[in-house]
Amino acid sequence: MAHLGLEPNDGAGLLKALGVDFRGVGAPYTGPRLHAEVPDRHVDPIWGHHCRWVEHESGGYWDYCDFPLKGASPETVAAWPVPSPDDFDYSHIAEACADNAEYGVYVGGAGLGDIINSTGFVAGMEDTLVALALDDEAILAHIDRRLGVLIEVTRRTLEAAKGGVDFVWMGEDLGTQKSPMISLEMFRRHIRPRHQKFIDLAKSFDLPVMIHTCGSSSWAYEDYIEMGMDAVDTLQPEATDMSPKHLKDRFGGRLAFHGCISTAGPVAYGTVDDVIADCRATLDTMMPGGGYMFAPTHALQDNSPTENVVAMYECAKQYGTY
C-alpha cells in the first residue's frame, strides 16, 4: 500500500490499484459467541477452532492447534455448538452486489464446502483422515452439521443477492505437492456427494462454480467436470500434474483456470525479470482459446518482495489481454 501511495488500511483501494477483478459478498455473523476464549490462543467464536501465533524471520501466522474435537464421541459432536443460519445478516447483500457490479461478484471462497481442512482445524489432520477411512460416525456427523449450516447460509445469501452474484467459489485441498492426499474411492465416497449439493445449489441459481484445490489435485477434475464444476482455482504449477501445459492440454475447453502463478517461485525468490518471464510463459500457455484468470496460486507470502508482486500484476495488465 505504501508503494502505491495508499493509506495503510485501504484494502479496497489496493484491489483497484492492482486491477483485481473479483469482489466477494457475504452475510456477517451477528449471533452470540459460541466458543469461549482460551488464554494464549485465538479461538474462532463461531466454529471453535484454536490457533496459536507462530513467528518466523519475515513475519508470522496463526497456526491451528489443540484440536478440541480430537477423539470426539458422537455425544461430544452433538453437543458442539454450531451457528444457526438465522444468526447471519443478509440485509445488505443486494446493496453490496450493486456496489460491485463492475466486478465479478462471488459468494463463498476457499473454505466453502471444504471438508478435510476445516475438519482438521478442530479434530487434527490425522484424526480427520483416519475418520474418513473408517467412516467414523462422530466426525462424519460433525462434517454434515457444519456443511448443513454453510449450504443454508449460502442459499439465503444467493436469494438475498437478487441476481447480483456472478459465481460461487468453494474449496477442498486434495493433494500434497507430489500426489493425491486421499484415494479416488474415498473422494467418491465422502467428498463428491457432499460437494454435489453445493454445485446443485449454485446451478439452481444458474451460476457457475469454481473450486479451490491446493497441491496435486487434477486427478479429481474429471469427476468435478461430471458434477458440473466450471472452473478450478490455485493450480500450483510445481505440484505433480498441475503444470499449465498439462492442465490446458487435458482440461482446456472443459474447465476454466484461476491461478498458476506460483507463490513459491519467482514472485518470492526471483528478480523482477524472472517474475515477468514466468508470468509471460504462463500466459502464453493458458491464454489461447480463453478460459484463464491470471492469479497467484495462493495468498502471497510476506517474504515476497513488493517490486516482484507489483511486477506480477503489471505483467497481467500488459500481456494478459488480447
CATH code where residue 177 lies: 3.20.20.210
CA atoms of 304 and 268, how far apart (whole Å): 4
Number of domains in the chain: 1
Kindly state whether residue 47 falls inside one of the protein's structural domains. Answer: no
- Residues 248 and 257: their CA atoms lie apart, in Å, by 9
* Whole-number Å distance between alpha carbons of 282 and 235: 12
pTM of the full predicted structure?
A: 0.97
Task: Look at residue 2 and tell me if it is in a domain.
Answer: no
Per-residue pLDDT tens listing for the chain (322 residues): 999 999 999 999 999 999 999 999 999 999 999 999 999 999 999 999 999 999 998 889 999 999 999 999 999 999 999 999 999 999 999 999 999 999 999 999 999 999 999 999 999 999 999 999 999 999 999 999 999 999 999 999 999 999 999 999 999 999 999 999 999 999 999 999 999 999 999 999 999 999 999 999 999 999 999 999 999 999 999 999 999 999 999 999 999 999 999 999 999 999 999 999 999 999 999 999 999 999 999 999 888 999 999 999 999 999 998 7
142 domain residue, yes or no: yes
Domain interval for residue 187: 11-33+70-234
Does 192 fall in a domain?
yes
Classify residue 117: in a domain, yes or no.
yes
Instruction: Give a yes or no: residue 240 inside a domain.
Output: no
The set of cell numbers assigned to 83 is 451457528
| Domain contains 313 | no
